[in-house]
Structure 1
Amino acid sequence: MDCQLDIFFLEAILNGVLLAGLLALLALGLNLVFGVIDVVWICYAELVMIGMYAIFYAYTGGVPFPLAALLGILAVAATGALLHWVVIRPVLDQPPINQLLVTGGVLFFLQAVATMAFGIEFRSLGIRLGSTGFADMTFAWSRILAFVVALAGMLALWIFLSRTFLGTAIRAIAQDRQIMPLMGVDASRIYLVTSAVGGGLAGLGAVLMVLQYDIYPQIGLQFGPLIFMICVLGGLGSMAGGFVAAFLISQFIAVGGSCMATEWGYAVAFLFFMVAIFIRPQGLFGVRG
Structure 2
Amino acid sequence: MASGTKSKGANTPKGKSGSVNKARRSSAVGSARKAKPWGMIIGLIAIVALAAGVFTYALMTVHDKEKWVVSEDNQDPSTNIEGVFREKYEAGQHVQATQRVAYDHSPPLGGPHDGVWADCQGTVYPKAVRTENMVHALEHGSVWIAYNPDKIKGKDLNALRAKVEGQPYMLMSPWPNLDKPISLQSWGHQLKLSKADDPRIDEFIKSLRENQYQNPEPGGRCDTQDTGFDVTNPPPFVAEKPDPKDPNTVTMDGKGAQDAAAEEQSGMSPTGGATPPASDGATPPASDGATPPASDGASAPATQPSQ
**Which TM class, normalised by the smaller chain length?**
under 0.3
Larger Rg, first or second structure (1 or 2)? 2
Q: What's the TM-score, normalizing by structure 2? A: 0.25
Higher RCO structure, 1 or 2 (CA under 8 Å, sep 6+): 1
The answer to which structure has the higher helix fraction is 1
The answer to which structure has the higher strand fraction is 2
